Chains A and B, each alone.
Chain A
Amino acid sequence: MSSDAMAIHQGADVGSRPWVETLHGWVTTVDHKRLGILYILYALLFLAVAGSEAMIIRIQLMYPHNSFVSPQVFNRIFTMHGTTMVFFVGIPVLFGLANYLVPLMIGARDMAFPRLNAFSFWLTALGGFLLYFSFLGGSGLYGAGNAPDVGWWAYAPLTSRAFSPGHSSDYWTISLLVAGFGSIGTAVNIIATILCMRCPGMKLSRMPLLVWLNLVVSGMVLIAITPLSAAQIMLCVDRYLGGHFFDTQAGGSATLWMHFFWIFGHPEVYILILPAFAVLSEVIPVFSRKPMFGYPVMVGATIAIGFISMSVWAHHMFSIGMSSYGNAFFVLTTMTIAVPTGIKIFNWLGTMWGGRIIFKTPMLFCIGFLFNFLIAGLTGIMLGSAAFNWQLTGSYFVVAHFHYTLSGSFLFGIFAAFYYWYPKITGRMLFERLGKLHFWLFFIGFHLCFDLMHIPGLLGMARRIYTYEPGRGWDTLNLLVSIGAFIQGIATLIFVANLIISYFKGAKAGNDPWDAWTLEWSVSSPPPAYNFAVTPTVASRRPLWDLKHPEDPDSRYE
């Protein structure tokens, strides 16, 4: 069947339905592409919500003794900002991309378990709903606005009945438990899809790196999200059944919660950053017009990161007073992880080296990522050494560091993914001028905000304080940091506007606007419901290169 015939067939399929039926179709869908889009839209919604919360935090901290929000509201806002960004922006967007792209990239019709896929998405959606319902239901209607205020780590004993009366912390617990089950379901699904649904010839050694990285991420989700689920069950037992897991009055241990949380918490950081690595590993080769440099090493480095990230969690806890052996162990493992990460950065540079680089928006975000991630890694090494960490833990230096990884790296990678795959998902190109404006504004705002944020941290400004005294040298810096945050907010609005305008007015993309090499570009944009009319067969890592250059296929050299 030619692609024209597909397009006509598709138009007849979705053209003239009443909107109720369309809505019903989306709600009951088990199609991996639609679920992927739902995940991504859901993440965008929460990006807007959590972004607004960040703005509230920055308005409050703009001036000393500001009273834009009360201390109580400030606690709720930073808790909700952190929780939302990690669980309801980061995880949904990475699963959305994996859902949409993995089956297309490995030449499969759908995920291995389509109904489990839908179930997992709606669990995650329910989790986000529960978290925000706490604003209404936290203490019944009289306590409206009573969201969780325990911080995203929710250290004991803050979560005990005495310090968290009402139900707001329970909504937090149940929300993360439910969303965690959703994540486990999707991770199981992605692994089964990758291992069992590859098209003929798609050996593990020929899979696109995005697929490889998602395989590793899903494996990490299985081992890392589950400790959090277990700890949340324990917290429920404590709060509802009168258990004593984290109740120090009855011999329980607050430290145990810290361990359980960070056994989840640190791998989680890598669960978020690896999908950004995955995007870079697809975008950089295409926009450098070269195959990926050091593919096997990239795969090895990814697996190494997966393993090592499981053994570094207590570097979040140097200040609790571990033995010197414990400190030394976690310092060394933390330093070790710099090695595979460094390998990755060199391989991306190696891919760009000597390539014919095309500075389109996706590539700009990838290059921005390389700069930001390098600095994030350097401050990470600083914080990873126990002696330095003792001075700066719990300060704005730490906040600046992890926003470098999550905003400057994860978000940059995700933006690159949007500009790269939006044409495939919608059939329309994003406007390049708006995209460049988005990039430069975001880049400038990001650096104004988070470069300067390190300094108040070094000067002793603790994280999570709702205001501060004037005259400590923090005032101007905080004002500039806030201005940087607003610039990022404006840039994000431009991005959202671009998404909406391009959907209606963007240039038609065609099957393969970037002259790329992976299988998703071989089908129409958007892809038909069945993905591939004929199951493809691949003979190399770049099947579309082989198709376009039959005189010099990759399969001859691999």
Chain B
Amino acid sequence: MSAITTPFPQTPATWKLPYRGKVGMACLIIAESAIFTIFVVAYLYYAGKSLTGPTPREALETPIFFTVCLLSSSLTMHLASTLLARGKSGAFLALWFLTIVLGALFMYGTAREWHRLIYQHGLTISTNLFGTTYYSLVGLHATHVTLGLLMLTIVLLFGLAGRVGREQSARIDVLSMYWHFVDAVWIVVFTVVYVLGR
């Protein structure tokens, strides 16, 4: 049969396709959004349907400071990746580290809140519907933050070893897409749990 090496009549002058990392991450974000949607729907569906206490109104305190921490970590990460694209590795590492600190602060906030809920209000995942839906939704998000922090730390370690330069910029952008997504999810979770759910 005819071989593929036969030259075809026209080769397009420019043939540029999107970067696979970004497309892959975008797909993962779509899939993750669907998972979070189901948990949010369950939270809203069961809001106010618990048969026993404690209720969200009694137990929850709005974590404004830690929310600001998490949201500003998106900003520092954006600045960090912009700096990396310009080749400023040192400034990149400093801001990257700050991002990790802000994310870790947020996790500390979640830990403190859970501790308070468990020991002061006696609210666990099996106490009532509020406990079940609250810990699942917030826990799912916290799992994502933890995973993100792990990946960020790996990049930090590589950065300290001097292995993260401008040529890795596209990959760092993929990771930052994930981090921005996790932050955006927190805005939804925050609104649902601390604003609408009370």
Contact = CB atoms under 8 A, between A and B. Distances in A.
Interface of A: 1-3, 112-113, 116, 184, 187-189, 191-193, 195-198, 200-201, 218-219, 222-227, 229-231, 233-234, 237-238, 241-245, 250-253, 256, 260, 263, 510-512, 519, 521-523, 532-534, 536-539, 543-544, 546-548, 553, 555
B2 A223 contact: no
Contacts of A533: 4-5
A185 to B, nearest CB: 9
Contacts of A548: 2
B1 interface: yes
Nearest to B19: A196
A1 B4 CA distance: 9
B120 interface: no
Given A522-B1, A534-B4, A548-B2, A222 B34 contact: yes
Given A191-B23, A229-B35, A536-B8, 7 more contacts: A112-B20, A189-B24, A195-B17, A201-B15, A226-B38, A510-B1, A537-B12
A106 to B, nearest CB: 10
Contact of A245 (B1, B9, B24, B132): B132
B2 A546 contact: no
Interface stretch (B41-49, B63-71, B81-89, B98-106): B41-49
A250 B49 CA distance: 9
Interface residues of B, number: 42
Contacts of B10: 201, 537, 539, 555
A245 B42 contact: yes
A230 B38 contact: yes
A1 B20 CA distance: 29
B176 interface: no
Interface stretch (B110-118, B121-129, B149-157, B184-192): B121-129
B126 A243 contact: yes
A192 B20 contact: yes
B39 interface: yes
B28 interface: yes
B27 interface: yes
Contacts of A263: 38
Contact of B38 (A187, A231, A243, A250): A231
Contacts of A112: 20, 23-24
B73 interface: no
B24 to A, nearest CB: 4
A244 B126 contact: yes
A226 B42 contact: no
Given A196-B20, A245-B133, A223 B4 contact: no
B17 to A, nearest CB: 5
Given A3-B3, A251-B49, A522-B1, A223 B126 contact: no
Contacts of B5: 1, 533-534
Q: Is the interface of A mostly helix, strand, loop or mixed?
A: helix
Nearest to B132: A243
Given A187-B27, A192-B23, A522-B4, A200 B12 contact: yes
A547 B8 CA distance: 8
Given A112-B20, A192-B24, A251 B129 contact: yes
A2 B6 CA distance: 11
B34 A243 contact: no
Q: Nearest 7 pairs between A and B by C-beta?
A: A242-B126, A230-B38, A226-B34, A196-B20, A243-B132, A188-B27, A112-B20
B159 to A, nearest CB: 23
B128 A244 contact: yes
Contact of A233 (B34, B46, B136): B136
Contacts of B94: none
B128 A250 contact: yes
A537 B8 contact: yes
Contacts of A543: 8
Contacts of A534: 4-5
Nearest to A223: B34
B18 A201 contact: no
8 contacts: A191-B24, A196-B23, A197-B17, A201-B10, A201-B12, A251-B129, A532-B4, A539-B9
A457 B173 CA distance: 57
B51 to A, nearest CB: 5
B41 to A, nearest CB: 8
Nearest to B52: A250
Contact of B9 (A1, A536, A553): A553
A238 B136 CA distance: 11
